[in-house]
Copies of this chain bind each other. A is one copy, B any other.
Amino acid sequence: MSQTVDRALSILPLLAEGPADLGQVADRLGVHKSTALRLLRTLHEHGLVYRQSDQRYRLGARLFALAQEAVENLDVREIAHPHLTALNEKCGHTVHLAVYEENEVLYIDKVESRYPVRMYSRIGKPVAITVAAVAKLLLADLSEAERRAIAEKLDYPTYTARSTPNAGAFLKELAVVREQGWATDLGGHEESINCVGAPIRGADGRVVAAMSVSAPNVVVTAEELLTLLPLVRRTADAISREYSGAVPGSKEATTKAASKEAPTKEATSR
Binding site for B on A (CB under 8 A): 1-2, 4-6, 8-10, 12-13, 15-20, 24, 27-28, 38-39, 41-43, 45-48, 50-54, 56, 58-74, 78-79, 82, 101-102, 104, 106, 108, 115-116, 118, 120-126, 143, 145-146, 203-204, 206, 242, 244-249, 252, 254-257, 260-261, 265, 268
Contacts of A18 in B (CB 8 A): 73, 256-257, 260-261
Given contacts A60-B246, A66-B59, contact A50 B102 (CB under 8 A): yes
Q: Judge whether B5 and A64 touch: CB under 8 Å.
A: no
Given contacts A67-B124, A70-B59, A102-B60, contact A2 B12 (CB under 8 A): no
State the Cβ distance, A1 to closest chain B Cβ, in Å: 5
Q: Jot down 18 A-B pairs with beta carbons below 8 A, ordered by A.
A: A1-B38, A2-B38, A5-B8, A5-B42, A6-B45, A9-B43, A9-B48, A10-B46, A12-B66, A17-B69, A27-B265, A47-B246, A50-B102, A59-B69, A63-B67, A64-B70, A65-B126, A115-B145
Q: Judge whether A203 and B64 touch: CB under 8 Å.
A: yes
Give 13 A-B pairs besides A6-B45, A17-B69, A120-B204 with Cβ atoms closer than 8 angstroms.
A1-B45, A2-B38, A6-B46, A47-B248, A52-B79, A52-B254, A56-B254, A58-B245, A59-B245, A65-B104, A65-B124, A67-B67, A116-B143
The listed residue (B41, B54, B56) touching A1 by CB distance below 8 A is B41
Q: Judge whether A64 and B67 touch: CB under 8 Å.
A: yes
State the Cβ distance, A218 to closest chain B Cβ, in Å: 17
State the Cβ distance, A14 to closest chain B Cβ, in Å: 8
Q: Judge whether B59 and A73 touch: CB under 8 Å.
A: yes
Given contacts A61-B244, A64-B106, contact A101 B2 (CB under 8 A): no
Contacts of A45 in B (CB 8 A): 1, 6, 265
Q: Judge whether B60 and A101 touch: CB under 8 Å.
A: yes
State the Cβ distance, A256 to closest chain B Cβ, in Å: 8
The listed residue (B8, B58, B79, B268) touching A8 by CB distance below 8 A is B8
> In this complex, which of A17, A47, A56 has the most chain B Cβ atoms within 10 angstroms of its Cβ?
A47
Contacts of A38 in B (CB 8 A): 1-2
Contacts of A121 in B (CB 8 A): 68, 71-72
Q: Judge whether B16 and A61 touch: CB under 8 Å.
A: no
Q: Judge whether B254 and A66 touch: CB under 8 Å.
A: no
How far is it, in angstroms, between the C-alpha of A79 and the C-alpha of B51 when the chains are bound? 12
